Amino acid sequence: MSHTVYDCSEGCPVEATLALIGGKWKGVILFHLLSDTIRFNELRRLMPGVTQRMLTKQLRELEADQLIVRKVYPEVPPRVEYSMADYGLTLAPIITALQKWGTEHLKKVKQEA
Amino acid sequence: MSHTVYDCSEGCPVEATLALIGGKWKGVILFHLLSDTIRFNELRRLMPGVTQRMLTKQLRELEADQLIVRKVYPEVPPRVEYSMADYGLTLAPIITALQKWGTEHLKKVKQEA
DNA sequence: CGGAATCCAATTCGATACTG
DNA sequence: CAGTATCGAATTGGATTCCG
């Protein structure tokens, strides 16, 4: 739901951030949108593991949290484009840090296998 | 379980990282351990919202991922201390970035309320 | 003290089918 | 094209009890 109440005394800010970007696919969505404006089905292609339902839900939550923008074009066939909101852009350093660390981590895991 | 397989083509590293630290309480645990070595019940006090069961589970997962170290002292009464592992320390920049962003975010949310 | 084990409720998630 | 609706399966999470 991404809107739970946390009652720890000190570390809360960490949790607050993870509550926004920690969703199963939110990080990846934000990562992709950082480099481009993307249509719904384009996103699906970029993330083959996500179901349509999940993708929709996560996008809506990100939108509700003002991290991304959903723009609907009144055309036939319909077109919906997603892009970063200004507020979401402030997350950019974090996202790229996650990506960088993850890259090294995957490398390490591979070596051990 | 933190060990799912992700089959996206590009953003995976982001997901890989979030799979490790994105657990409901993992971020906060790591945040606390960054500043100190902490005993089990001490952690519980620091995070009133977590149940014993959950805390145990999350700690075990972090340990399995080599991010933290669990040290058992063969005493009576027993003592178990948790601290950052070397590998976990490499996450420090990310954790503090999350904390910093979260602090600002909470400030913003408060203003809007 | 620091858990493990069990039971049960709530939530999440995927598969499928349908729609403007 | 970009969803929504509905349904079960699976996972998560809390409460409680017991243990070395």
Per-residue pLDDT reduced to its tens digit, A12-34: 889 899 999 988 899 999 999 99
Whether nucleic acid strand D comes within 7 Å of the CB of B8, the answer is: no
Domains, chain A, ordered by start: 8-107 (1.10.10.10)
Residue A76's nearest nucleotide, by CA–C1', is: D1
Q: How confident is the model at residue B10 (pLDDT cuts 50, 70, 90)?
A: low
Of A6-10, A80-84, B105-109, which has the strongest mean pLDDT?
A80-84
Backbone angles phi, psi at B79, to 5 degrees: -135, 135
pLDDT at B8: 56
> Chain B interface residues facing chain A, Cβ-Cβ under 8 Å?
6-18, 20-22, 25, 27-28, 30-32, 46-49, 90-91, 93-95, 97-103, 105-106
Q: Count the Cβ atoms, other than its own, within 10 Å of residue B93.
A: 14
Tell me, in Å, how far CA of A89 is from C1' of C20? 33
**Nearest alpha carbon to residue B31 among A15, A94, A92, A24:** A15
Residues of B in contact with A27 (CB under 8 A): 11, 14-15, 17-18, 22
pLDDT at A49: 86
Residue A81, H or E segment: strand A79-84
Identity at A8, one-letter amino acid code:
C
**Nearest alpha carbon to residue B67 among B93, B85, B55, B94:** B85
pLDDT at A8: 56
Q: What is the mean pLDDT of chain B?
A: 88
pLDDT at A30: 96
Query: What residue in A sits closest to B90 (Cα-Cα)?
Result: A101
Residue B111 has pLDDT above 60, yes or no: yes
Residue B25's nearest nucleotide, by CA–C1', is: D13
Number of H helices, E strands in chain B: 6, 3
> Are the C-beta atoms of residues B45 and B27 closer than 8 Å to each other?
no
**Nearest alpha carbon to residue A37 among A11, A73, A7, A77:** A73
Q: Which strand C bases fall within 7 angstroms of a protein CB?
A: 1-6, 11-17, 20
Residues of B in contact with A100 (CB under 8 A): 13
Burial letters for B35-58: b for 16+ Cβ neighbours within 10 Å, e otherwise?
Answer: eeebebeebeebbeebeeeebeeb
pLDDT at B7: 42
> Are the C-beta atoms of residues B34 and B50 closer than 8 Å to each other?
no
pTM of the model: 0.88
Q: How confident is the model at residue B113 (pLDDT cuts 50, 70, 90)?
A: confident
Alpha carbons A23 and A48: distance in angstroms, whole number: 17
pLDDT digits (tens, 9 = 90+) for B77-103: 899 999 999 999 999 999 999 999 999
Taking an 8 Å cut-off on Cβ atoms, the answer to whether A97 and B100 are in contact is no
User: Which positions 63-82 on chain A have a beta carbon less than 7 angstroms from any atom of strand D?
Assistant: 70, 77-81
pLDDT digits (tens, 9 = 90+) for B35-49: 999 999 999 988 888
Q: How confident is the model at residue A97 (pLDDT cuts 50, 70, 90)?
A: very high
